[in-house]
Amino acid sequence: MKNIDHIGVAVKDLEASELLFKNFFGIEPFHREEVASQHLKVSFFELGNTKVELLFPTSEKSAVSKYLLTKGEGMHHVAFLVEDIFAEIERLKEEGFKPLSEEPISGALNKLVIFFHPKTTNGVLIELCQKIKD
């Protein structure tokens, strides 16, 4: 694992949350994107070598929508950047960690992503992400 890529924060109102974090960090978000496959709109703030990702569900089908209903707004996940997501998935499975899907999917910022079940990571939803090579 290279480093923490970003921290995901589930929000109920993307525009209000962008303003809140803009005021807190003193900077504008650098990227906004809709991730249709995950029923999300996302907004990123860059802070040094890491980012904060605001996650806003666009449908009740979104896992973030369910998260907001049960836990409310707040930290959703921590994402780690990796060089070879497939090798890391296999290594972590051998160590007993359970991915939430069989294969990584396309995520925001042109990355492959996969999540690991919080029951196997001390209650923290962990995402691995790898830049998709052009």
Site of tokens 């923490």: 4
Per-residue pLDDT of the chain (134 residues; tens, 9 = 90+): 789 999 999 999 999 999 999 999 999 999 999 999 999 999 999 999 999 999 999 999 999 999 999 999 999 999 999 999 999 999 999 999 999 999 999 999 999 999 999 999 999 999 999 999 86
CATH of the domain at 27: 3.10.180.10
Phi, psi of 42 (to 5 degrees): -125, 155
Query: What pLDDT does 45 receive?
Result: 98
Q: What range does the domain containing 32 cover?
A: 3-131
Q: How many domains does the chain have?
A: 1
Query: What pLDDT does 98 receive?
Result: 98
Q: Distance between CA 32 and CA 53 in Å, rounded?
A: 9
